[in-house]
Every structure is written in C-alpha cells, then in structure tokens.
Structure 1
Amino acid sequence: MNGAPLAERMRPNSLAELVGQEHITGDGSILNNAIKQGMIPSMILWGPPGVGKTTIANIISHTLQRPFFQLSAISAGVKEVREVIETSKKLEGAILFIDEIHRFNKSQQDALLGAVEKGIITLIGATTENPSFEVNSAILSRSQVYVLKHLSAEDLMRMLQQAIDKDEWLQQFEIDLQETEALFRLSGGDGRKLLNLFELVVQASKVKPGGKVTITNMLVMDTAQNKIALYDKRGEQHYDIISAFIKSMRGSDPNGAVYWLARMIEGGEDVKFIARRMLIFASEDVGNANPNALLLANSTFDAVSKIGYPESRIILSQCAVYLATSPKSNASYEAINMALGVVKKYGDLPVPLHIRNAPTGLMKDLGYGDNYQYSHLGENNFIEQEYLPDVLSGTKFFEPGKNAREDEIRRFLKTRWDKKYKY
C-alpha cells in the first residue's frame, strides 16, 4: 500500500475529477473559465472542512503550471509570509495558498497586502469562517470570494465509489458497501475524513487481498473507537469533547479541563469557539461566587481573537485552569431560568404604577410614578417597596449559593428583605 493516506492518493488533478462544487467549478462557471484562460484572481475559498478548498488550490496550480507555495496559518507567521514574497519576486505569477487564513492576525494579513496589490503573488486563502468578519477588508476587496457547499450524501457515495474503482490498494479487495450511515455520520460531510476512515475500516477488517470486505455500521463504529481518536468539529465528537471540557471545569478539575482543551486544540477547533464557551461558563457556573471569572473569560476571548494559534493555547489554558479552580455558583443561571418560566406562565403582567416612567403630563395624571420612593433617600440607600407585579409579590428567583462571596450577598439581602423574601 502507498504510504500516503487514501484521501491524498485520491486528490484530483483536474476540475473534471473533483466531486461536488459544480456551482463554481462546472463548465461555464466563473472559476472554471478563469482557470481555462489562465487569468485567475486572488481568491478566498470559504466552506466547511473537507469539501475541496485545498484540492481546488492544487488543481489551479497543476493546471496553470505556476510556482506554488503553501502555508498553514496555524504554524506560519509574518516571517514565513515575507520569505515566500521575497522568493516570488524572482518568479512570474507565483501562487500562495494559505490554509485557514482566518487564523492569521491583522499584522500577518497586512504582510500579504502589498504583494497582492502589486501582483507579486496570487493569493488563494481557505477558510471555514465568514471572511467578512475574519479576513482583512483590504485583502477581501482585492479577492474574489467563492462559497463552497457541504458535500451531499450522493457526493460522498461518489467519492467512495471513485476510490474503490481507482485506488490500486483498494482494487485488491471485493468491497461491498452494505451500510454507509456510520461512515457518513462520523466523517461529518468531510470528504478527506471520509476516505481516510474508509481506508482504516478496510484495514481493520483484516481481510486478505482477493477477499471480500463487507462495510457495515458496526465495523465502522468498532474501527473508529479502537483505531482513531476522532475529532470532528461538526459531529458527535465535537459535542462530546466540549461537554467533557465544561464538566471538568464545573467539577473543579484543572487536569481534566486542560486535557480536553488539548484535544480540541490538536483537533483544530476554532479558538473563538473554545473562548466563547468559557465566557458562558464563567457566568453560568462560576457566577457571583467569583465575579472576576467573567472579566478574565471576556479578556481571554478578546486576546485569542487578536492572536490566534499557536500562542492562544497558553491564554486558553490559563483561563481554563482559573475557571476550574474557582468557587462555583449557578445561582444567577437558575434565577433567570426560573424568571423566564414565570414569564411564560403568566404572560405580560402590568408594571406596578409606582415604578412606571412618567414622561408626559397625561401619564402623571394616570398615576404613573405615584408613591415611588427614591431609594437613595433611605438609610443605607434602601427603602422597602414592591418591584414585582402584584401576583408575583414575594416570589424569590435568586437564591445565593453556598460560597464566601454569595454568603456576603445573602447577608446583604437579609438586612434589606428578610421578612419579604426570607433570605
């Protein structure tokens, strides 16, 4: 068997061999015509993982026979970009393909701009994120954006059949695709992942060349569990691993949190997705037991949005450890959920007259704002009065948690509202 994985062995060299994306690569399409004329613009290929972004870049290079450079935004920086630009100045019409260009920060993207403007390089950027938000507007204005679609079940089946018919190693077996549901579900519509998983399943069957391999859902699931640590950013593992990460932090285990964080980073998870979930966690699970958690999580989101990988791994780790080792409270989370339940039950209850706004004379005549007591005029800036609709009077939504910070909150509320809310 060839040492390269099946997806690499089956990578198309022409648009005619490409599965899917006919809307931008089919006969008469803008991209197809541009390639035939040898006059391609700089472009951004936007679409989900494994639908052909890298393949299209390779097909363009192969078809046009131009110098081709490839960088990954995960590992490359300004230095590598500048080295490619300097080399390209000596060549005519070099193509620079940058995978996951959305992970480049502003200074890294700015380093490309001059070379794109002067035609030193033709840029092909691949991204899974909306380029309107993630790509420098100056680069975007000088590039054509092509949107790639999810591969359909028919596309995926065509890919498998193409591999069975054309790959020399697979041709040694009689392959019966009895069931494909597990293959399609675990690959999450990612053609590269589909082919590589399929190859592993055939290997795991232990059938000798010349024998029959029957592909079933059970064989696929057994192979996936025993042979590979799948991390699919849109599939089951995506949700299982983020769940394990959140539950590790909730359970105050920084070791579990950092391990699952590492799994996501290694799997190429979007840095903003991880930071966004920690931001939610800081409020939902830490809350007022440690209000600084929300501030740190928000700062983390801002920082990793500017920096990207690989440096963001350190910031994410710091925040995850902080959240895991922080005191916990879900009191605010429970309070808003209870309040929303009451709103759904009782509908739009009227606002008590004394706390209504009274900007006009008519409203004042109707009693809006009558008998409202300005809290700052009372002792300790407090005067007891009703703030809920009559039917909800005395309803307690917020119950402070059992931690040092919320014990202080409980004592504060007890001195103000002991008889009414029984804190």
Structure 2
Amino acid sequence: MQKPLAYRMRPKNIDEVVGQEALLGPGKIIRRMVDAKMLSSMILYGPPGTGKTSIASAIAGSTQYAFRTLNAATDSKKDLQQVVDEAKMSGTVVLLLDEIHRLDKTKQDFLLPHLESGEIVLIGATTENPYLSINPAIRSRTQIFEVQPLDPSDIRTALERALADKQNGLGNFNAQVTEDAMTHLMHVTNGDLRAALNALELAVKSTQPNADGVVKIDLDIIQETTQQGSLVADKDGDAHYDVISALQKSIRGSDTDAALHYLGRLILAGDLPSIVRRLQVIAYEDIGLANPAVVERAVTAIHAAEKLGFPEARIPLANAVIELALSPKSNSAMTAIDAAMQDIQSGRTGDVPKHLKDAHYKGAKELGNGVAYLYPHNYQNDWVAQQYLPDSLQNKAYFNADGNSNVEQAYITQYQKLKAAQKAGLEK
C-alpha cells in the first residue's frame, strides 16, 4: 500500500522544508546547528501538521546521520534500546520521539545518559506546551523551539511542489487546480500542511480525467475533500488552550465578533465542557459586580447549553457570549479575594477576635470566647459597629474599585459608608 502524499513529500534536507524561517532561515539557530554539524537535542512544539517531523527528517538528511522515529506513548524501552544499540555500532542517530510529553519515567531514565553522551540526538515532538507538560529532567537537556502554523503562501509552495513531483508526488496525474480551489485549500487547513497535502491527494486520485486527459480540480471538489479539515481548536492539542484564552480575552476586551469567532472554533471542536467551564469563569471574573444580572443570565444560558447538547447548544452559548462581551466589566471581586489571600499567604493573619470565636461548647465563656459579641439583628437596620478583622488587619481594605456601572458604584458606595461608620463607631 502506497504511503500518504504528506509522507512521500517529506523533505530530505533542510533546504526542502517550507516555512519556519525563524528557525531554519539563513543564520537562524537550527540552520547554524546543521551547517556546523553540531546538533543538540531539542523539543519542537506546535500544532499538528506544521512540520515537526519534517524538520527532524531534514536535519538527519542534511547531516547524513541515521534517522529513526518512535512514539513515547506506544513504543517500549526495548525499542529505545535498539536505537541506542544502533548508535553504539554505527555512530550518532537522530531520534524523533513523537508525543514526548507522554514519556514515562522508566524510558526517560534509560534515555538521559545517552543524550548526555551524544550517542542520541533527541528531537522531541509535541502539540502541548513543553514548559507545562514535559519533565524538567528532559527539558534541561534540550533546547525548546516553537514551530508556527504555516502561512498560506508556504502551503501553496508545498502543494505546487507536490503537483509537479513525478517521483513522490502527483506529477504523473496531469492535475490542474483552479485558483479558487487552491486558495480554499491554502486557507481552510489552518496552516496544517499534512491535512492540505492529503486533501489534495484525495481530490486528484478520486477525480476522473476529462477528454483531454486533464484531472481538473475545482472548488467544489476541494470543498468536498476538506469538509473534515483540521480545526485549530483540536481538543487534545496546546492550540486548544490558546483558543480558550483568546475567547476570554476577546470577551474581556468587549470584542463581540472575535469572541463569537473563538466560540465557533470551540463549538466545531465539540468541546462543550471546556466552553461551559470557561464562560462561567469569564462571567464572574470579568463582568462580576459590574452587572450581576448578566452574570446570572449567562449562567442560566450555560446550563441550558449543557442540557441541550450540540448542535442546539450553540444558540444559548452565543447569547451568553454576546451579552458578556457587551456588558460593563469589573474584576473587583477577584482582585479583592486575591489581595486577602496574598496577605494570608504572606503570614499576615492574626488571631480571630475573642468576641467572634465559637461559643457553642462548654468552657467557652470562661475563656471569654463569644462573650462580647454584638448580634446585628438586635440593632436598628440590622447593623452595629463591631470589629471583625484581626487586630493586625483592622484597617485593611481589600475591596477597591472605581465602579464601571451604576450597580457596582452602588456596592462601592455602600462598602465605603459601612467602613466609615464602623471606624467611627469603634473610635468612640
């Protein structure tokens, strides 16, 4: 069985790699390593189909080192041993270890001394942020490079190369791709070259030649072959978290259209639990006291989405996102609790005042606990001046806000009025 086009078109040297100029361009770090034949182990991370395997293959091809590929999740320590044995027999081996974030401790401990000796040049590939997902012992022995999604122009270069290549590509099919079909293919795969190449191969091989022997690929054909194209919000990749982050920052920045765009990407990725969790965080973190009614309506819409499921869930989710984006914003509740927690973590606590301590046990009265407590409901307006914070924090004010809405301004006014009344009452 013939291997997929993306595999067959894999670059054999560094000059054949498309894109990634920041790493492979003249004078850039990986290019300098290859030119000097001074390779060091590295981790390449970025979205699927952006060239991590191609870069590893090209590095090996340009340096004439043996190249082997293993998967950290599925291949065993025995497989690693075979690569090490080969390196000891014939010299340095470049090992591409896919899904390196799933490397367990046993395999890691086996691999580390061979990295340090230089027998193995490890190129780890991952879609997840290595600073969060990869063991520090591996990170400290590697250089970390981020691989970016390819520009549409890079995708086009690779597609045209594949159409012309008679040995490994589609050059023997006499295929012609219309300009609008090419443009669609360049953009719909979101920088994923593997998806673009494999979609092109499916289009060419499933289309019958016309009377002139030309395999003509138009927009309709490309749209059919890319309808399951890659989504940048892939649930299992690091890019997924970038989209979630962009959703929150767009709502926080009151950009409704951007917020709907990122919501749409998450919906198409099918990740309702992440959407539900993040929108509830946004409602309380970024809108909060500025508009409690919107927070309540957003939470109601989110719960409705959970009950409905996709595809109908998109409707209440869109309602929530639009209203959250257009609402006044405030993070005063979050900053208030964070300030209180910062004091506690820094050791600024103090003893609970005696009159607030629990008095529901025998002997509490003898200790003076709860004795002088003033019950607010016994006083006018259910309030009485009384110390609640520990002595060392008595004048502390955690809730500070300018008030971006009438609602929040009312809270702030009441807060300040009560603080002033309490201070005055305690000073009598």
TM-score by length of 2: 0.55
**Residues 110, 136 of structure 1: 8 Å contact kept:** no
Give the alignment partner of residue 407 of structure 2, picking from 327, 343, 346. Answer: 346
Question: Residues of 2 paired with 1:48 and 1:232: CA distance?
Answer: 10
Question: Residues of 2 paired with 1:15 and 1:178: CA distance?
Answer: 29
Give the C-alpha shift of residue 163 in structure 1. 1.4
Give the stretch that moved more between structures: 203-212 or 121-130. Answer: 203-212
Give the C-alpha shift of residue 42 in structure 1. 0.7
3-state SS in 1 of match to 2:411:
coil
Q: Within the alignment, does 1:277 sit opposite 2:274 as a pair?
A: yes
Q: Which residue of 1 aligns with 2:346?
A: none
Matches for 1:21-420 after TM superposition, within 5 Å: 21-168=20-167, 169-179=170-180, 180-207=182-209, 211-224=213-226, 230=228, 232-234=230-232, 277=274, 280=277, 346-350=407-411, 364-366=422-424
Residue by residue over 1:81-112, the C-alpha shift from the partner in whole angstroms, topping out at 9 and shown as x without a partner, is: 34433443444222221012123244443432
3-state SS in 2 of match to 1:350:
helix
Question: Residues of 2 paired with 1:23 and 1:354: CA distance?
Answer: 53
**Residues 61, 67 of structure 1: 8 Å contact kept:** yes
3-state SS in 2 of match to 1:349:
helix
AA partner of residue 217 (structure 2): I
Residue by residue over 1:99-146, the C-alpha shift from the partner in whole angstroms, topping out at 9 and shown as x without a partner, is: 121232444434322221232311111122221112222222221222
Q: Which residue of 2 aligns with 1:413?
A: none
Identity across the alignment (%): 31
Question: Residues of 1 paired with 2:98 and 2:24: CA distance?
Answer: 19
AA partner of residue 144 (structure 1): Q
Question: Residues of 1 paired with 2:155 and 2:98: CA distance?
Answer: 23
Q: What runs of 5+ residues in structure 2 fail to find an aligned partner?
A: 241-269, 282-308, 310-315, 330-404
Question: Residues of 2 paired with 1:190 and 1:153: CA distance?
Answer: 10
Give the C-alpha shift of residue 58 in structure 1. 1.0
Question: Residues of 1 paired with 2:272 and 2:141: CA distance?
Answer: 31
3-state SS in 2 of match to 1:149:
coil
Question: Residues of 2 paired with 1:61 and 1:342: CA distance?
Answer: 55
Give the C-alpha shift of residue 26 in structure 1. 2.0
Give the stretch that moved more between structures: 57-66 or 346-355. Answer: 346-355
3-state SS in 1 of match to 2:179:
coil
AA partner of residue 408 (structure 2): G
Question: Residues of 2 paired with 1:36 and 1:53: CA distance?
Answer: 19
Residue by residue over 1:364-416, the C-alpha shift from the partner in whole angstroms, topping out at 9 and shown as x without a partner, is: 23469xxxxxxxxxxxxxxxxxxxxxxxxxxxxxxxxxxxxxxxxxxxxxxxx
Question: Residues of 1 paired with 2:211 and 2:109: CA distance?
Answer: 53
Question: Residues of 2 paired with 1:167 and 1:183: CA distance?
Answer: 21
Q: Which residue of 1 aligns with 2:16?
A: 17
AA partner of residue 222 (structure 1): E
**Residues 57, 97 of structure 1: 8 Å contact kept:** yes
Give the stretch that moved more between structures: 150-159 or 70-79. Answer: 70-79
AA partner of residue 232 (structure 1): S
Question: Residues of 1 paired with 2:12 and 2:211: CA distance?
Answer: 28
Question: Residues of 2 paired with 1:109 and 1:165: CA distance?
Answer: 43
Distance 1:55 1:93, change over 3 A: same
3-state SS in 2 of match to 1:39:
coil
Distance 1:107 1:159, change over 3 A: same
**Residues 188, 229 of structure 2: 8 Å contact kept:** no
Give the stretch that moved more between structures: 119-128 or 68-77. Answer: 68-77
Question: Residues of 2 paired with 1:43 and 1:14: CA distance?
Answer: 18
3-state SS in 2 of match to 1:162:
helix
Question: Residues of 2 paired with 1:58 and 1:22: CA distance?
Answer: 17
Q: What runs of 5+ residues in structure 1 fail to find an aligned partner?
A: 243-272, 285-323, 325-329, 369-423
Distance 1:88 1:279, change over 3 A: farther
AA partner of residue 348 (structure 1): Q
**Residues 163, 171 of structure 2: 8 Å contact kept:** yes
**Residues 97, 123 of structure 1: 8 Å contact kept:** yes
Question: Residues of 2 paired with 1:80 and 1:128: CA distance?
Answer: 23
Distance 1:345 1:213, change over 3 A: farther
Question: Residues of 1 paired with 2:411 and 2:154: CA distance?
Answer: 56
Question: Residues of 2 paired with 1:30 and 1:178: CA distance?
Answer: 36
Question: Residues of 2 paired with 1:116 and 1:355: CA distance?
Answer: 62
Question: Residues of 2 paired with 1:223 and 1:29: CA distance?
Answer: 36
Give the stretch that moved more between structures: 195-204 or 24-33. Answer: 24-33
Question: Residues of 2 paired with 1:87 and 1:5: CA distance?
Answer: 28
